[in-house]
Structure 1
């Protein structure tokens, strides 16, 4: 019984996916928790550091939102998976859903309570930090400090104006002493007297050591000229409070009264720099800084509130995510043994006894899975032993079939009535018949093999009848088969067949094709005969010819006219026959001495085009038509020997065509020569086709043997030389009669050459 089994690769793939999901879930949980903790830490640092808070507020809020969205997506994905498992009816889905719901409620309800309380607390706490009264008090303090400083600066300017009256009657050259006295009186740090064009006239204090004191602006000069007094407070914008308190000063510019009246009197200006009280300046700066900081925080309180609330929301999501994740993990731990047992029971019920998974936990459920796995392992071992035996038998059978399919010998198994039970590809190749199509049919029904089948049946009957007498376990006999379809590939098929009886009363027929061996032996024998004929016959031919010619010379003019005519005719006959014998001996000698082919890359189309120049319309007895395939790659060949092959084939084709045309009293049809490249066979095929009478069956099967010919005066060596050269070039040669409507209309010779190795690459 065939048992459904889950493929090992599918199980490993499912386990790998489950492991990957667990790793991804754990890694994602860790990353989310780490990001949440980092955000909480950064938020804590930012709330204690206003500058850090302002600088990182934007991206902190963005990351909070992204983390919240990711956690929400994970929660939705987990919920969808649970729903899908429940709809598919997966075992344990309801338990997982119940556990997830319980743990989710346990995590969500307290989290929501804490979230609501914290939300209210944060909202009210932040709002309580900011009060309208505090804001009004700070604004009033800033205004008070500004008014106080302006009052002090105005008072110092008036004092400077009062003191400048001392310079009204003082000449510019004596103004220095008056300025020193004035500086001591006012407590100023620096006093400079300027003329009407803004040039310093005299100075006292720090400016006395400066070549070019800082000149008041044109606007200050204009204001002092119009209102007789101007002042400005400097040094309040320094970086630190201590520097601002030390450098705070009032710089006044007053017009010096001139009691004289005249158009030539030029106005003069006194510029005095007076320090401000440090305590007052420090208090004013402190109030201003406090007011600015209060305003900045008041503006950012909405963002701060959103940040705190966002952090609380993130914490809630983390709590809910952890609760649901814990529910899934614990649910899997509880349901996993039950799932393993349920899956194993279903597989055993379906006939699948492969080893089952077992959990290594120490609880009772884990022990139950291990006991179940042990039971299925024992059943699987028993079945495995049986399957191993069957597989070994199948493997042995497959090996035997593989060996049989790859044998060069033909193998046929027959029953007692000669019906084909099985055959191998070697039998199909050797017999040239689709033997696999005739399995289950009598051997004698195979076209063209009826005689061979009958002979084989007789040998089996004789062997089995006389087997007890001769003591052999097989019989052996040579056979000669004619090629099917009226053609020949080299020559007839020669077989050596062996037969034996199999244990189940069937019969084994094994046969080998020895046609090439026979052909080689015949070629070798004919070569030896040719050498001996050339040696034994050629030597006496010349003396015979010379003796006849000498006899004619000696007797010419000494015989009557009638005897003289007989003498001349007889001598001519002897000389002609000796010449024919010499040509025959030379052909045999050339056949025996045919050199080994020297193979080089060769373009067959170019060689044929060169040879066909000798068969033009002006010289050819029978026209030759050529058709070349330009796709033909180069072949490995001997150009001289292939020229001889083409000449022999064309001359034979022309002779056969001319003979048929003379017999019919018609014009000879053209001889066709063509090349074709076969992609499937990877061969270059050369074909010569004539319109002659064809070959008789007894000649067709031995056409490539020496001295087998249909010509009255032929030697039969032309096709033998072609066969020998084809063998040197590793080419297959085929000779067939062309039949149309049951009538032979000519013959066709084909040579198939393998391409040159570099061209095949």
Structure 2
């Protein structure tokens, strides 16, 4: 008990140290597991803050982890702000950088959230049994987290929805449709200009092909090209070879730098036709066609869209607006993703900061409560000397600590008084239990209502029941034979009653002497004690003694006249049998009847005498197997029509400490009764094929020798079976009722038992079990007579 209390005190002191270190910030949140193995050397009488005396070398890894977490947290905040700033740039590479930066930062924030969740779990859940007020601490963290998370979710959701809706309104379907129509108009204008340019190049090609070849040289060709260029408003005219070399050229000041057509363009007009297009980098239209009149030559012309034209200004504006719209549509999805990432990361950072703040503030608030809880736990464990030291000005909590200290002081005084009274009561209880367990009589405690409250060991053994099954049960339901005596006691003025009852237990009739009395208490709540003794052996001994005296007197009174009666009948038979002439046969029958009945009476008298003068056993080591085999042989000769045998002979020698003559007599009586019972049923059935069987078994069972004899006779009666073991009780008309009584007497004189049982299921007949203790000559039978 002292070791148990010491263990509880050590655990309570450990709880105090953990609470103090967490509250004071001297210990990290997940350090409670490290203190589980700390065992204080002495008990504390005052609960307060325990200083952290742990070496710095052991605390360094935890300090480093906390510092690393703080640096990573600040870095995540900075990266989130930087990503949000870069996302507002018009430069697309910066937007892409912002997107990738925020994605990488989200991974960092998730790692920080996992680490913080692990530490919170270790603080509030995994180490719950070693912390004080874990539920309150949990609620602090939950409230702070909820207070930060709900506004972040609400504001973020509204902001994201608002921006998305405004973007859709500004650059909605109407704007896209208008821009599409403007682009279509622009394309139609450019197509028309290209068509005109195509007609001009075709006319120019026809004109050049119509000129005589012999008068055309480079100079005259150039001059012709200048005339045609002015007439047709062309900014540039070129004659190219199939290799792309310029054979002749005419360029106006507005013409851009010459650009050789690609091989694909040249090949597209080899077989005729016109190829024309608009240069993407300039507002300039070009066209290409072959010159059939010139060997492997092509006509290449260009015309610019005039800057003084109002259409050109509109075309430039439409192109710029279309390009801006396309760029925005391409960036819109990524901008939304960046904005969503920014909101999520900001919400995560705010929640993590709130959880961290909740832990720190929770420690500060729970510190005095933790001291009080730890002190209360120590009081619950039985340490009434504990006092709460609430340092600082905590207001009502300090008042609560003072009230707690006054309460524990008063409880300490009362506890000492109660312990003293308890010790006295415990001594009385132990004395009463020792008395109850030591007495041989059965004792049952009863409430006023008859409910059983106490059953001693002797009562369990005498009744053959489990005492726990009787507790709290009404006596009239579980021990109805005792209920009448209890009722008499309650109705008696003297509150006491005595009675004798008999009932069957384990197949045997048991006789009990009862006494019911009340013990001191109010009449309406009086307790009752029922004591009883097993008088079965005493009653049986008295009955046997009486029957032995009767048998002795009957044998004495009857045996004396039997001899002269028998002699007189024999003399009459010898002397007068020849002289009687009128009816000699009747005379012979009468004398024979007298002689036969006298013999039967003499045999009965001998049995009475044997029962009355049972000799004391002369003990010795007896081989019970050999003795059984001899009896089996004798009974086989006496009852040849019955199959008498032994089943499963033991492989080892079985020896008992017994009187060989008395054991032989007991076994002979059992086999004789079985043989006569089987013969009677064979005669009564009239079945010539009926085979009587008597089977014997012998084995060692729980330190005893068990001899079991079974037959297929009529069996035992269902009621009053145990009375067959009493003297002069028999079911046969001609029986004396002494056979089984003698066997029982012999078994009891050897410290054994005799039982009348039924055979196994499916078998008919009777079974007798004779148990003899297996003793050596070094352990003589205590009650052998």
What is the TM-score with the length of structure 1 in the denominator? 0.48
